[in-house]
Amino acid sequence: MTASPWRLRAAATAALAAVAVLLALPTPRTAAPAAPAGPLTLTQAWPAARTVNLAATMPDGSRFFPSAVLDPGHLVGTVSTADGNHTDLVELAVADPTHPRILQGYDTAAGTSIDAVTAAGGRIYWMTSTPDDLGRPHTSLYRAEAAGGQPRDLTDDTGRPDYYGTRYDLQVADGRVYWIATRNVDPPTSELRSIAVDGGPVSVRPLDSAYALTAWPWLTSTPPLGQPLVQLNAVTGERRTIAPKPGEQLSCSPTWCRGTTSNATSTVITMRRLDGGGEVRVNTDGEGSATMDVAVLDRFELLAAPLGGPTPTSEGGQRATTSEKLTVYDLKTRRRVAVAVATAEGVHSPWLWWSTGDNETLTWHLLDLTTLK
Amino acid sequence: MVRRGAAQSVVLLLVGGTLLKIALAGTYVRYVKVGLRGYLVAAGAVLVAVALASLVHTLWTAGSRRAGHDHDVDDGHGHSHRGFDPSWLLVAPALALLLIAPPALGSYAAARGGTALAAGADSDYPPLPDGDPVRISVLDYADRAVFGKGHTLGRRAVTLSGFVMAGDHGHRYLARMVITCCAADARPVKVGLAGDLPPDAAPDAWLEVTGTYTAQTDTDPVNGQPIPYLAVTSARSIPAPAQPYES
């Protein structure tokens, strides 16, 4: 078999062309790691999400629980001894969590409690209550500079403060610290109290009904099932009335309302704007609201679903602690994003935090919601 | 013989061209260490030059032999001796690189290799560089933590980057493959992550973690070597780096 030169050249030319084509092909893209099964996850939805993780167990076995975030590197919270008899309110550096700055120590066994904490403008404010010999709580409002120094007792003239478990219970606005106190029990009425951030006389403003603070300057009523909700602007006096749907429990921020309708087998949570627009169901069966705060940052609704059975620990064992699947519903994009399986969660806008692990493995994860872009 | 020579030249050209392509495109870092780029370019260029010269020579001589009635070696029965030419095997890796471009080694390989620490028990380590946090390699952290017992790490915040590797009992590790020459000799270095990460940090996802030294250790089930831990204070997803291996 003898190859004729022209056939050989033609074959060589074809082979060279094939090589040229192969070499000219674009480099194949490497497949990204397979996405975990299930709903969209935090890093899938928001790759730039900023989280801060903090091992919460101190060398002596006491544990830290966050109350507020000063900045991504500094938190305010409580450190409770393992026996639960003593609690310190502390400021803690994330980079050095085992050496917190103690703001105040409390004998929790005697009934002292820290009821509300907030931080604003480089200052930390908190309320504590201590029962007297007759069991009547006496509440004080304190302030400390985040930069250091001794805490200061701003006032003991707090009235009977009401706490709803939101970041707004103690709120700093326009150079004053605001809180709601009970004025009358029957019929229930409230009073809006405030004091200048540097101290002074306490202002007491009687209200015509029972209110809670929401984003300043708005107050919101806490109506029973099926009753309208009233919002009151504390500055202008403007009043809004929002009607619920039949059988609906309403709670509202100044921009969004959360409607909760329950029956024996299910709970439906819908979100809608104050004017009724943009209504959407945000929960799935078995999910409830994770916090009292409605539409954090006017955008995120936080949901939690309890998980049945014991949860595996990082040590390979199991714990009986109730765990919850924490989900964020993004009202802007109308999508659900799985955040974590958590044992506890809290929110102090713009921060959402949750815990994982228990005992010596307890870890807090703090998510800056402003980074969910 | 002429056709075989021409075919071998084309195969050589394909291999050389592939070397040049991965070297110039940068994907070679998935397979060999960064410092070998120059050698790859040189080798690829030589192969391409040899292949082209050989091909031209083959085609030229084919014409000359035709004129002189030359022919392939014949077995006397009208057939050329043309058994399987092993040089065709070179086409397989070339095509794999061009059509598939295998990714850098990741958690699958790391889980099957024992953690590789570089230093001995009496190693002295210089102080950490300036920075808060200070960025160091996974290998540097692991060596300082295990052999230096964390003395040079102290309470300094360090930042490491690597890919996530799932371990037993839900443990998760930050791993990085360390190579001496090429992926064939790659060995993983693993650092345990104390304090759970966000749960969606899937295996092979790249993370940048910041944390501090903790005395906690683990034992690698593959080779029994200690795996140090990092007390993670923050973590964020990052894209896979251009240079996936440490060396």
User: Cβ contacts (< 8 Å) between A59 and chain B: which residues?
Assistant: none
Confidence band (pLDDT; 50, 70, 90) for A362? confident
Q: Where are the alpha helices (DSSP H) in A79-127?
A: none
Interface test with B, best of A4, A19, A58, A319 (most B CBs within 10 A): A19
- For residues B93 and B112, membership in a common domain is answered with no
Q: How would residue B119 be classed by pLDDT, with cut points 50, 70 and 90? A: low
**pLDDT tops 60 at residue A86:** yes
What mean pLDDT do residues A349-359 have?
80
Q: Is A107 part of a structural domain of the chain?
A: yes
Kindly state whether residue A277 falls inside one of the protein's structural domains: yes
Q: Quickly tell me which residue has 């806490």 as its tokens.
A: A222
Chain B residues 3-62 with a CB less than 8 Å from chain A:
3, 6-7, 9-10, 13-14, 17-18, 21, 25, 27, 55, 58-59, 62
How many whole angstroms separate alpha carbon B220 and alpha carbon B173? Answer: 11
Name residues whose C-beta falls within 8 Å of residue B181's C-beta, 6 or more positions apart in sequence: B32, B33, B36
- Final residue of a domain: which of B102, B122, B150? B102
Q: Are residues B135 and B170 in the same domain?
A: yes
DSSP 3-state helix, strand, coil percentages of chain A (rounded to 5)? 10, 50, 40
Q: How far is B148 from chain A (nearest CA, A)?
A: 21
**Which of the 8 DSSP states describes residue B90?**
G
**A233 inside domain:** yes
Q: Is the ipTM of this complex over 0.85?
A: no
Asked if the model's pLDDT at residue A95 lies above 80, the reply is: yes
- The total of other beta-carbon atoms located within 10 Å of residue A2's CB is 17
Q: Are residues B151 and B236 in the same domain?
A: yes
For position A150, what pLDDT does the model report? 92
Report how far apart, in Å, the C-alpha atoms of A184 and of each of A161, A212, A365, B78 are: 12, 14, 40, 116
Instruction: Tell me the average pLDDT across B134-148.
Output: 90
Q: What pLDDT does B65 receive?
A: 63
Q: Are residues B170 and B96 in the same domain?
A: no
Sheet strands (E) in chain B: 134-135, 158-166, 172-178, 187-194, 206-219, 226-237, 245-246
Distances (CA, A) of A97 to A51, A73, A132, A222, B179: 16, 10, 34, 38, 36
Q: Which letter, b or e, does each residue of B58-83 get, where b requires 16 or more Cβ atoms within 10 Å of its Cβ?
A: bbebbeebbeeeeebeeeeeeebeee
Sheet holding A74-80, edge to edge: A63-71, A74-80, A86-93, A96-107
Same domain, B191 and B139: yes
Domain contains A339: yes
Distances (CA, A) of A207 to A175, A241, B25, B103: 21, 16, 71, 67
Nearest to residue A116, comparing CAs of A167, A160, A183, A154?
Answer: A167
pLDDT for B2 equals: 66
Q: Whole-angstrom Cα distance, residue B27 to residue B24?
A: 8
Query: What confidence score (pLDDT) does residue A191 get?
Result: 96
Nearest chain A Cα to B212, which residue? A95
Peptide bond preceding A187 in cis form (omega within 30 of 0) = yes
Assigned domain for A121 exists: yes
d(CA A117, CA A97): 19
Size of interface A-B (CB pairs under 8 A): 145
In a domain, A6, yes or no: no
Q: What range does the domain containing B152 cover? A: 108-246
**Band (B101; pLDDT cuts 50, 70, 90):** confident
Identify the H or E element spanning A346.
strand A344-348
CA–CA gap between residue B242 and residue A300 (Å, rounded):
35
Note whether residue A12 is domain-resident.
Answer: no
Give yes or no for residue A102 having a pLDDT over 90: yes
Which of A9-23, A165-179, B47-61, B192-206 ranks highest by mean pLDDT?
A165-179
The residue among A170, A122, A314 whose CA lies nearest residue B167 is A314
Q: Which residues 22-41 on chain A approach chain B with CB closer than 8 angstroms?
A: 22-23, 25, 27-28, 30-31, 33-36, 41
Least confident of A151-165, A241-255, A356-370, B28-42: A356-370
**For residue B53, pLDDT beyond 80:** yes
Q: With b meaning 16 or more CB within 10 Å and e meaning fewer, what string describes A6-37?
A: eebeeebeebbeebeebbeeeeeeeeebeebe
Q: How many domains does chain A have?
A: 1
Nearest to B10 among A12, A23, A33 (CB): A12
The pairing of beta strand A176-184 with beta strand A171-173: antiparallel
Q: In whole angstroms, what is the distance from residue A123 CA to residue A103 CA?
A: 12
Within 8 A by CB and 6+ apart from B101, the residues are A27, A28, A30, B27, B30
CB contact under 8 A, A27 and B27: yes
Rounded CA gap, B145 and B9, in Å?
Answer: 53
Spatial neighbors of A316 by CB under 8 A, at least 6 apart, are B168, B169, B170
- Which CATH number goes with the domain that contains B199? 2.40.50.140
Are residue B86 and residue B112 in the same domain, yes or no?
no
Q: How is residue A93 written in tokens?
A: 């550096």
Binned at pLDDT 50, 70 and 90, residue B247 comes out as: confident
Please spell the DSSP secondary structure of B2-50, one letter per residue. Answer: HHHHHHHHHHHHHHHHHHHHHHHHSGGGGTB-GGGHHHHHHHHHHHHHH
> B43 and B126, same structural domain?
no
The CATH number assigned to the domain holding A137 equals 2.130.10
| Whole-number average pLDDT of chain A | 85
Q: What pLDDT was estimated at residue B169?
A: 63
Confidence of residue B81 (pLDDT cuts 50, 70, 90): low
Cα dist. B120→A29, A272, B110, B125, B147 in Å?
Answer: 40, 64, 22, 11, 7
- End residue of a domain, out of B44, B70, B102: B102
Residue pair B1/B73 in contact by the 8 Å Cβ criterion? yes
Q: Residue A156: phi, psi to the nearest 5?
A: -105, -5
Interface contact flag, B6 A33, Cβ < 8 Å: no
Domain of residue A153, residue span: 36-371
Residue at A2 is within a domain? no
Mean pLDDT on B80-85 = 63
pLDDT > 90? residue B1: no
Same-domain check for residues B90 and B55: yes
Using a CB-CB cut-off of 8 Å, the residues of chain B touching A3 are 2-3, 62, 72
A196: pLDDT strictly greater than 90: yes
For chain B, what is the domain count?
A: 2
Kindly report whether the peptide bond that precedes residue B228 is cis, defined as omega within 30 degrees of 0. Answer: no
**Who wins on pLDDT, B86 or A288?**
A288
Cβ-based neighbours of B92, under 8 Å, separated by 6 or more: none
pLDDT at B82 (0 to 100) = 58
Q: Is residue B162 domain-shared with residue B95, that is, in the same domain?
A: no
Q: What is the pLDDT of residue A321?
A: 46
Return the closest-CA partner of residue B186 out of B125, B121, B99, B108.
B108
Same domain, B71 and B123: no
Q: Are residues B231 and B118 in the same domain?
A: yes
Peptide bond into A217 cis (omega under 30): yes
- In terms of domains, do B11 and B41 share one? yes
